[in-house]
Structure 1
Amino acid sequence: MKGYTVPLSPRGIANLAPAPPWHYAGTVVGVEFFTDPAAAAATLPEGLTPDPDSAGRGVAMFIDWQYSSTGLEYLDPARSQYREFLITLDARYNDTPVAWCPYIYVDNDSAMARGWVQGFPKKLGAVHQTRAYSVGGPGTPVLGPGGQFGATASAAGQRIAEARITLEQPVPDPTALMNRPVINLRHFPRLAAGQHDKPAVHELVMSVLDDTAISDLPTCPSGAPARDSTSTSPTPSPTSSPSPTTATDHPTRHEGPAAGPHSGGSQLLGTQAALANLGAIE
């Protein structure tokens, strides 16, 4: 039997996700926010600590993705296209500034399988965002000053996040928005009775992006609120913008802690946002 993920099959093409590398391109609506530092710290697994220089800072991202592996999978858009909503929170791994992803939602089973392999805690959800088209006219926003974009995310029929932004100016250095590596927790429990608290795999890993590119990245210093369905109120932050990027992502294993993450959440209020086109390889 062949395949990278289940289900394995004689030819190995039934699996949910083929082996890496995985290539991505897409458009992002991103909202920076600040929340209660204690609520953010409650989500961190053992091995990560709050970043004292930016306690409570996070980024919420709504992404319209197109994916391909070693072939031309993007020629099958029903499988290669999906949408995603995620939150990252500033943290430290030893003395290194990193981003931690406590929550992430996708609308595609293959994307969810790839995420679990990488340690992203993906769940099914519905994500939508405004699209911009170069043809112009009243049916599309302007990808520049004055352009207005909205995005929403829901899960199990409940709205969990929303954002609305108005673009004002270009970002001088787009790479500054992606200068923290993302740390994930790969956790796969055991099924056997008496061993539910002894996972087969429990490790921190770093998601490393290669060949990252970002384009068309205007921002706005004020954005409408983004909401998370779980918990406390936030302190507003001042920035919003959309933009495009490209990258390659290679999961890197980190030796260390084996404690589970704490549950927690916060209500998010975004005041800084971005719209971008993205590209990546994992």
Structure 2
Amino acid sequence: MNNKLDGFRHFCRRNSLFVIGSISVILILFTMTVGPSLCTHDPNAVKYSEKCISPCAEYPFGTDFSGRCVLCRVIYGAHISIGVALVVVVVGAFIGVTVGIVAGYAGGAVDSILMRLVEIMLSFPGTIFALAVLGTLGNGTINQIIALTVVRWAHYARLARGETLTVMNSDYIQAAQAIGNSRLRIIVSYIFPNIIGQIIVIATLSIGPVILAGAALSYLGLGAQIPSPEWGLMINGGKEYIRQAPWITLAPGMAAVLTVFAFNLLGEGIGDMIDPRLKEKAEAD
């Protein structure tokens, strides 16, 4: 028992970022999941007689300009802000990793064509490109997810290709080819398991930027629409009351900052556990 406890303490000391990040993310996801069932107010219920009430026992984060509970809206808004980010990261990583592995494994003309496409995508500023996509598709959460996915997938493709090329030079890949394994089997059984760690690190670190990008698009009115309690939309709605009722803007803003910070800690912690050099790759992306 003492050996296990000592081992756990040693793990926590060596991986403090991972431990702190994991606890923070778990608490955030727990609040996002359980919080709505504990809310005593409808996040979209308008009560003009209770508008702009400062934080109190009944309304811990106060009320907004329509008398809606800010705390309830922040909790419900987490489903949108964090949910959008998770979908974008998962879908973007799936597309990007698939393209990157195919490019790295196939080589030749396939590699050249796919990587030229990746370079073209990466040459555009992400936010500007997302705005262009939304300008074409229109507003809304689904279109916001599509726009952010289009922006993000190329980052994963470049990373996956580089890692695939590194793995391809390994002896076990050459041995797998020599004994007649199919290309699909080599990719699924040998290449993917050896690059998944790096992908997880970069994906975790990218959740924060995607949350901020999604909030920015909603702030501009291009993502979630009124009366959705999305964090960026809440910040936009409260900006006119920043002097009279600053909590309307501060609450969703702090929620976004703390969430981004938690996922960044988790990503850096995972990176330190797998390979400290991954931090440099993440920062470069």
Q: Which TM-score applies when normalising by structure 1?
A: 0.22
- Larger Cα-atom Rg: 2
